[in-house]
């Protein structure tokens, strides 16, 4: 993509050409030093600040992947909205999937402050040029998967996301604060659903266990490759884009989840899982990183289906976007007419 160092002004909080400096012209080194000082002081980097190209690129990639994950993440659970077993469960699931859409939009909004273009990001997603979380390439085979996704997948997401509320990039950190507040409902509704099922028949309990067996390992993979294979981690930590390593967060998730599994009455599918008194953490078995690599590079059970669904929604919605734009051109109020650069301006 055109990684612009000075993106076109498209938002008041997006980078714009700074006014002609009245003080001495800032040198690249001086700007870089100021950026480093901002990071070191735990202050936030804001959209119109100078930032190294690598930082901008990293942030756009991370935020876009995160946004895509939220949007694609609507599909596995959306699959069960029409078949949720009661009006109560349907309303909850609908609200949850709406939240995922909202989270995607908060994040696209944050990415745009860095000069990324929304339509361009969508295009990259539906042509497979940008990735999303590997977890959403697994199928939701039963209704209990909805509960397990809330408990484990959203639980893992919370583990990942809470530290991101302190990300050095201001708009991303603010979006994460909003998202984390809402994720708590997601996890609790999932766990409550599972508790209800576990009070049911032996068949219902078996359904829960089956879902846990299928989602446990993919949930652990959500934290990304082990630290030794994560070459970008060091730079991301230095920039305070990332606050903990993948392995630290994965361990935190395992430690939090084991007692929850006990309380629920399910077993986690790992014979090597046991408390290590010396470490003060749970030990767990080896993760199948070949599977992770296969799924992330397109070979998971649902990759093609997820992207195709997103593409068809986008294409089937084109007439709505065109009709709304045509309507706006006819009836628009003075301000939007003046937004030539960002669209909405009449061409005649």
Partner 1 sequence: MTESRSEWALWEVFIRGKRGLNHVHVGSLHAADAQMALHHARDLYTRRNEGVSIWVVPSAAITASSPDEKDPFFAPSGDKVYRHPTFYEIPSDVPHM
Contact 105/68 with Cβ under 8 angstroms? Answer: no
CB of 130 to partner 1, least distance (A): 14
Phi, psi (deg, nearest 5) at residue 94: -60, -45
Residue spans of alpha helices (H) in the chain: 28-40, 53-72, 74-78, 87-112, 118-126, 144-148, 154-161, 170-198, 202-221, 233-238, 246-264, 289-294, 303-316, 318-331, 334-337
- Of 293 and 309, which CB lies nearer to partner 1 in the complex structure? 309
Nearest to 285 by CA among 254, 328, 308, 314: 254
CB of 131 to partner 1, least distance (A): 19
**How many Å apart are CA 314 and CA 318, to the nearest integer?**
6
CB of 267 to partner 1, least distance (A): 36
- Of 105 and 195, which CB lies nearer to partner 1 in the complex structure? 105
- Of 14 and 198, which CB lies nearer to partner 1 in the complex structure? 14
CB of 184 to partner 1, least distance (A): 12
- Of 30 and 85, which CB lies nearer to partner 1 in the complex structure? 30
- Of 100 and 270, which CB lies nearer to partner 1 in the complex structure? 100
Question: Interface residues with partner 1 (CB under 8 A)?
Answer: 9-14, 16, 18-19, 22-23, 34, 46, 48-50, 95, 98-99, 102, 105-106, 109-110, 112-113, 117-120, 122-123, 171, 174-175, 182, 314-315, 318, 321-322, 324-325, 327-328, 331-333, 335-336, 338-344
Taken in order 71, 77, 83, 87, is the CA torsion positive or negative?
negative
**How many Å apart are CA 176 and CA 191, to the nearest integer?**
22
- Of 15 and 224, which CB lies nearer to partner 1 in the complex structure? 15
- Of 49 and 248, which CB lies nearer to partner 1 in the complex structure? 49
Contact 106/168 with Cβ under 8 angstroms? Answer: no
- Of 88 and 335, which CB lies nearer to partner 1 in the complex structure? 335
CB of 348 to partner 1, least distance (A): 14
SS3 per residue for 279-324: CCEEECCCCCHHHHHHHHHHHCCCHHHHHHHHHHHHHHCHHHHHHH
Beta bridge partners of 281: 276
Q: What is the DSSP letter of 169?
A: B
CB of 92 to partner 1, least distance (A): 14
CB of 298 to partner 1, least distance (A): 22
CB of 113 to partner 1, least distance (A): 8
Where b means 16+ CB within 10 Å and e means fewer, 296-328 reads beeebebbeebbebbbeeeeeeeeeeeeeeeee
CB of 186 to partner 1, least distance (A): 13
- Of 182 and 291, which CB lies nearer to partner 1 in the complex structure? 182
**How many Å apart are CA 37 and CA 42, to the nearest integer?**
9
């Amino acid at each position: 993509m055109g990684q612009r160092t000075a993106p076109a002004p498209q938002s008041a909080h997006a980078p714009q050409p700074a006014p002609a400096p009245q003080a001495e012209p800032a040198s690249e080194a001086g700007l870089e030093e100021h950026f480093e000082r901002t990071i070191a002081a735990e202050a936030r980097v804001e959209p119109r600040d100078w930032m190294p190209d690598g930082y901008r690129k990293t942030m756009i990639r991370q935020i876009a992947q995160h946004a895509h994950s939220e949007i694609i993440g609507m599909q596995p659970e959306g699959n069960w909205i029409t078949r949720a077993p009661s009006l109560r469960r349907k309303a909850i699931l609908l609200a949850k999937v709406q939240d995922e859409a909202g989270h995607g939009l908060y994040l696209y909004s944050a990415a745009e402050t860095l000069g990324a273009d929304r339509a361009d990001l969508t295009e990259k997603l539906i042509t497979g040029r940008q990735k999303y979380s590997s977890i959403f390439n697994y199928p939701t085979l039963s209704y209990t998967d909805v509960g397990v996704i809330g408990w484990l997948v959203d639980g893992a997401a919370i583990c990942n996301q809470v530290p991101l509320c302190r990300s050095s990039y201001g708009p991303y950190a603010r979006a994460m604060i909003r998202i984390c507040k809402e994720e708590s409902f997601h996890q609790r509704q999932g766990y409550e659903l599972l508790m209800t099922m576990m009070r049911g028949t032996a068949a219902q309990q078996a359904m829960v266990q089956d879902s846990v067996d299928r989602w446990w390992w993919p949930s652990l993979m959500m934290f990304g490759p082990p630290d030794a294979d994560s070459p970008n981690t060091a730079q991301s930590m230095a920039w305070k884009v990332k606050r903990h390593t993948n392995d630290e967060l994965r361990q935190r998730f395992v430690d939090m989840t084991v007692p929850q599994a006990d309380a629920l009455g399910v077993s986690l599918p790992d014979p090597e899982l046991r408390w290590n008194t010396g470490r003060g953490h749970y030990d767990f078995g080896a993760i199948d990183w070949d599977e992770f690599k296969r799924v992330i590079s397109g070979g998971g059970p649902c990759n093609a289906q997820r992207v195709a669904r997103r593409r068809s929604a986008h294409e089937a919605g084109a007439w709505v976007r065109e009709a709304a734009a045509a309507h706006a051109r006819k009836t628009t109020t003075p301000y939007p007419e003046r937004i030539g650069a960002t669209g909405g301006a009449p061409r005649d």
